[in-house]
Chains A and B, each alone.
Chain A
Amino acid sequence: MRELQEEAKLRMPWQDVILQTSVRVLIPFIQLFGLYVVAHGHYSPGGGFQGGVILGAAIILMALVFGLPASKHYISENVNKTLSITGPLVYCGIGALCVLFGGSFLDYSALNKILPLGPIAWRSFGIFLVELGVGIGVMSIMLRIYRVLSSAGTIDQGL
């Protein structure tokens, strides 16, 4: 018993075949489900915040099981910063585009002048674009919070 415990302590915490295999199977489906929740935000339960949290949780799961360097190989810190800026920029950009084309802020029917789909279709599609921005922002901020908290500020070696 004691020797087995010492041997398990010596190994790195992410060297576990069962967890690695099951997480490797699960992560694509979790990400697919996150995209599903984002895309269904405007007429069923879900939306940008929830879908973004699921997408972030998939990468946090990867960081937990394969270690923080592996998740940094997947989404590096610079890419994460860029994504966390891109999300709010998409949100505000869509709103400002509506103002530029003669509506009020986030009044998507004004975007009808870019591509004539009809104002009702543009209202539905505009909400989807805004939710996409929210999803990207929430995903990268979730990942950033986990990385900073788990490595005590220095983002090189996680839990």
Chain B
Amino acid sequence: MSILSVIVAVLLLLGVFFFIIGAVGIVRFPDFYSRLHAAGKCDALATALSLMAIALFNIRDFDWALFQSWDNLRVSLKIVLIILFVYVASPAATHAITKAAFIVGIEPWEKRKRNR
């Protein structure tokens, strides 16, 4: 077992951990805004960690002389580009959904109801 596979396993486990945290947050949080807060943040980080693990695992047998391993390196670079895309797109989409909900008029949750 090499160091690379240990790193890959740790990254994957961290990614799965954050996915589970996000899922628990979606189920347990009380209202729409805090659920989106859980979903948006955890998914971006967990996707980045899992894809980083996949990109590292893809170039595990890198050899300067083989054409095949340069092909694998290109695929890994594309996976890194996916991470960049997710990091720009996911917060923007969460922002759009939250703003639409705010304009429609969904009230944020409060523990004690104010007297209006």
**What is the CA–CA distance of A18 and B91 in the complex, to the nearest angstrom?**
9
Number of A interface residues at 8 Å Cβ cutoff, please give it: 14
**What is the CA–CA distance of A25 and B91 in the complex, to the nearest angstrom?**
14
Judged by DSSP, the binding face of B is helix
Complex contact B103–A19 (CB within 8 A):
no
Give the interface size class of chain B.
10 to 19
**What is the CA–CA distance of A1 and B110 in the complex, to the nearest angstrom?**
13
B104's nearest neighbour on chain A, judged by CB, is A5
Chain-A contact segment, one of B3-11, B39-47, B94-102:
B94-102
Complex contact A22–B89 (CB within 8 A):
yes
Complex contact B92–A5 (CB within 8 A):
no
Report which of B91, B96, B103 forms a contact with A5, defined as CB distance below 8 A. B103
Residues of B within 8 A of A (CB): 85, 88-89, 91-92, 95-96, 99, 102-103, 105, 107-108
Residues of A within 8 A of B (CB): 1, 4-5, 8-9, 13, 16, 18-19, 22-23, 25-26, 29
